[in-house]
A and B are shown apart, each in its own frame.
Chain A
Amino acid sequence: MKFSISNMDLFYGDFQALKNINIEIPANEITAFIGPSGCGKSTLIKSLNRMNDLTEGCKITGEIFLDGENIYGNIDVNALRKRVGMVFQKPNPFPMSVYDNIAFAPRTHGIKSKFKLNEIVEKSLRDAAIWEELKDRLKKSALSLSGGQQQRLCIARALSVQPDVLLMDEPTSALDPISTAKIEELVLKLKKDYTIVIVTHNMQQAVRISDNTGFFLLGELVEYGDTQQLFSVPANKRTEDYITGRFG
């Protein structure tokens, strides 16, 4: 297991956003989190690289282990975020060149060799399936790229520090169907080398690409299991009602 979460509660002040979460996330698989807005799925993935530390009043109890190590124990949070990369809903390239977007994090981590940086930029862009499109535009501003290209650039940027895990928070919700298909293909290729956790409102996307799916409702993990099983014979009526659109 890549992540093992046990008895996890999360509070924003007095509000309990996650209730007694117990979940195991396997390595080199794609795990999707689904559920209505405000159910806690994004909160959970933000807990996996301690992004919630930045939210005032956020308190977490219980345990989250990454490769057997408690990430809420005495660890280096920067090292954790290097291992657990994140891609957001809206592509957020830095206002700098394509090259510098990818080289930014490796430089921050002390890599100065031009040769090494070139190598990282090319490998990251190749892994994000965008090298062929951008290899002649490395000096161009990342902001001049299309939305789909920007998102793949952000994935390449996340890959530049060679993480183990890629967290994706609705990575295609702002993209057209062709760009969405390219990201989905990419995610399927990446699982060979990375563990991927994706939050999505697009249930067909969860069916298409994920191996495991978790359904969240009002801060609870209602059901978690094999994606095909969950979408064909859900064990819980609340899951059935949500995925068939009869919720509420």
Chain B
Amino acid sequence: MRRFDEQLAELNNMMLEMAALVEKTITMASQALIEQDTKRAKNVIAVEADVEQKEKEIESLCLKLLLQQQPVAKDLRVISSALKMITDLERIGDQAADISEIVIMMNGAPYAKNPEHISQMATATVKMVTESIDAYVKKDLKLAKSVIAYDDVVDDLFDKVKFDLIEMIRSDGKHGEQSIDLLMIAKFYERIGDHAVNIAKWVVYSITGKQA
């Protein structure tokens, strides 16, 4: 294998590592949210620092490859897509940390109602992020497009959460603060879904050369 192909394989591995870290932040943040586990929520913030570190390493490798190899065609698309995707991955990590901070602030106060739709949003967004990176590594156009389409599921769940929270406030005004916290959390998940869509769109570009 020539040196450039080895470097591209290394880039793929690093993307997988960064994606695994990001998945870990969302999964941990979601568990912390459901179980009201502030200790786990604090750990998310530590993992998020690793995500940022990995972003810098990938950025540095991509810039080195652009300089050294002056890539064209598929190679250029793969490297430029990676550079764009890591920004979205890093933002997902940030949003998982933001969710965790709210969990820490809520400090274990019992939920007025089981946040089942938020829990479903968590599962859906983890799936989107995982599949978008799988699509990148396996160059799977169909999977990338299915991630883009799946955003509607997350958006529908967000609407359900809003409806649940309106009902919660309406039933008892004292749930106002918790409702707003949960609304922010749901909004962070909705944004995570949008970032996964961005990643999937860059996957489409890296495979086809056309912006989705």
Contact = CB atoms under 8 A, between A and B. Distances in A.
Interface of A: 203-204, 207, 231-234, 239-240, 243-245
Given A232-B76, A232-B77, A244 B71 contact: yes
B74 A244 contact: yes
Contacts of A232: 72-73, 76-77, 209
Contacts, number: 29
A207 B71 CA distance: 11
A207 B72 contact: yes
Q: Which of A231, A239, A245 has the most CB of B within 10 A?
A: A245
B73 A244 contact: yes
Given A232-B209, A233-B77, A240-B74, 6 more contacts: A231-B76, A232-B72, A232-B73, A232-B76, A244-B73, A245-B4
Q: Is the interface of A mostly helix, strand, loop or mixed?
A: helix
A190 B74 CA distance: 32
B37 interface: no
Contacts of A234: 73
A209 B146 CA distance: 39
Interface of B: 2, 4, 70-77, 208-210
9 contacts: A207-B72, A231-B76, A232-B72, A232-B73, A233-B77, A233-B208, A239-B73, A240-B74, A243-B72
A169 B25 CA distance: 57
Nearest to B77: A232
A243 B4 CA distance: 13
A231 B73 contact: yes
A244 B78 CA distance: 12
B78 to A, nearest CB: 10
A184 to B, nearest CB: 15
B70 A243 contact: no
A244 B77 CA distance: 12
A177 B170 CA distance: 72
A240 B75 CA distance: 10
Nearest to B75: A244
B72 A244 contact: yes
A51 B177 CA distance: 85
A243 B75 CA distance: 10
A203 B72 contact: yes
B205 to A, nearest CB: 10
Contacts of B72: 203, 207, 231-232, 243-244
A31 B209 CA distance: 23
Contacts of A243: 72-73
A243 B77 CA distance: 13
B52 to A, nearest CB: 30
A203 B76 CA distance: 14
A221 to B, nearest CB: 18
A240 B70 contact: no
A204 B210 CA distance: 22
A240 B74 CA distance: 8
Contacts of B208: 233
Q: Which of B4, B70, B73, B74 has the most CB of A within 10 A?
A: B73
Contacts of A244: 71-75
Contacts of B71: 244
- Best-surrounded residue of B2, B72, B77 (most CB of chain A within 10 A): B72
B4 A233 contact: no
A240 B4 contact: no
